């Protein structure tokens, strides 16, 4: 017997038998149902570990070749791409054009749903042209269902322009993308708590994947010292405090000395560490860091071991 017409083949559109009575559940039962479904997301992402690692390699290759990582998505997927891109400059000190987020419907879609925009294939191709996509770029499409027309068209145009391409999806994509993308990352989290609401498990899985790709790529580019984000941009009191504490810990100096070193380094905690640990002036420290490929560990040796913080009594 053929399947009923109302059954969608996309995994993200399937009904979840574990939550079919959620509409009569108590608040605590709803919390438990959602939490139990969320608990499956990390395992789904882990199953895609090799593909995520490949995406990190492609991102690093793009950066080393003077290219960019460009996310493309619609709706929640597009917002997640823009979010991850926007967090790279303050976290890793990167220029805003290094990681770019393209969302169907443009900036207005970030704060107000523009659902029809996901079907505009002409706008998708135009977006790739507007971003001046070229062969040294890595364009990563994000589409929970794997079938979003805007994402498919953007990837097709990016491939025509010679770019490396990939796709993050929580359902099997069409053969057109399977056969043409350089990497496919498919964390299949299964049916949502609410059927088709991919802002839930699919979005959580997507955020985990994107965070891992950019963080992994930045680490491989020398933008961490141990697990310290020494290339952060101190644009707020919190980040200035973090920069000073990083220098204090790495160089075993007090806050005043750390602050002076960062000022002498032009605001760079990374450079300040090299200056203090090697006793160098700014220009000499810059040369040493450049010779080390931007890696602090190569320039000054290992970071200090982790000191466990003790809570106040």
Residues 6+ positions from 216 with CB-CB distance below 8 Å = 52, 53, 56, 59
- Which sequence positions are flagged as catalytic? 87, 118
Fold classified for 42-220: Rossmann fold (3.40.50)
At residue 221, the pLDDT reads 97
Residue 129, Cβ density class (10 Å: 0-12 exposed, 13-18 middle, ≥19 buried): exposed
Residue 184: both structure tokens together:
């496919």
Partners of 70 in the β-ladder? 100, 139
At residue 7, the pLDDT reads 66
The structure tokens 């770029």 sit at 137
At residue 313, the pLDDT reads 43
Residues of the chain with pLDDT under 70: 1-3, 6-8, 309-313
At residue 210, the pLDDT reads 98
At residue 8, the pLDDT reads 65
Which phi and psi angles does 7 have, rounded to 5°?
-80, 120
At residue 218, the pLDDT reads 98
Report whether CATH 3.40.50.980 matches the domain 237-300: no
The domain limits of the chain are 42-220, 237-300
């Amino acid at each position: 017997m053929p399947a009923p017409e109302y059954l969608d083949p996309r995994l993200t559109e399937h009904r979840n038998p574990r939550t079919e009575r959620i509409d009569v559940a108590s608040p605590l039962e709803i919390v438990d149902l959602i939490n139990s479904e969320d608990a499956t997301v990390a395992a789904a992402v882990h199953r895609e570990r090799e593909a995520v690692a490949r995406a990190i390699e492609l991102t690093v290759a793009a950066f080393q070749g003077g290219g960019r990582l460009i996310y493309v998505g619609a709706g929640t997927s597009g917002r997640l791409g823009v979010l991850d891109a926007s967090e790279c400059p303050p976290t890793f000190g990167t220029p805003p054009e290094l990681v770019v987020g393209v969302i169907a419907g443009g900036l207005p879609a970030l704060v107000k749903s523009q659902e029809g925009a996901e079907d505009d294939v002409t706008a998708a191709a135009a977006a790739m042209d507007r971003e001046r996509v070229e062969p040294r770029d890595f364009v990563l499409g994000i589409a929970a269902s794997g079938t979003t027309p805007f994402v498919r068209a953007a990837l097709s145009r990016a491939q025509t322009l010679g770019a490396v391409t990939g796709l993050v999806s929580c359902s099997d994509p069409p053969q057109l993308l399977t056969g043409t993308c350089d990497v496919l990352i498919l964390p299949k989290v299964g049916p949502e708590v609410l059927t088709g609401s991919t802002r839930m498990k699919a979005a959580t899985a997507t955020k985990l994947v994107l965070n891992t790709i950019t963080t992994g790529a930045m680490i491989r580019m020398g933008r961490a010292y141990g697990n310290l984000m020494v290339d952060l941009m101190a644009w707020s009191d919190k980040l200035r405090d973090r920069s000073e504490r990083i220098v204090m810990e790495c160089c075993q100096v007090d806050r005043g000395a750390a602050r002076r070193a960062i000022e002498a380094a032009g605001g760079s905690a990374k450079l300040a560490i090299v200056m203090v640990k090697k006793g160098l002036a700014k220009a000499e420290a810059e040369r040493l860091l450049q010779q080390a490929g931007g890696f602090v560990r190569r320039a000054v040796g290992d970071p200090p071991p982790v000191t466990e913080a003790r809570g106040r009594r």
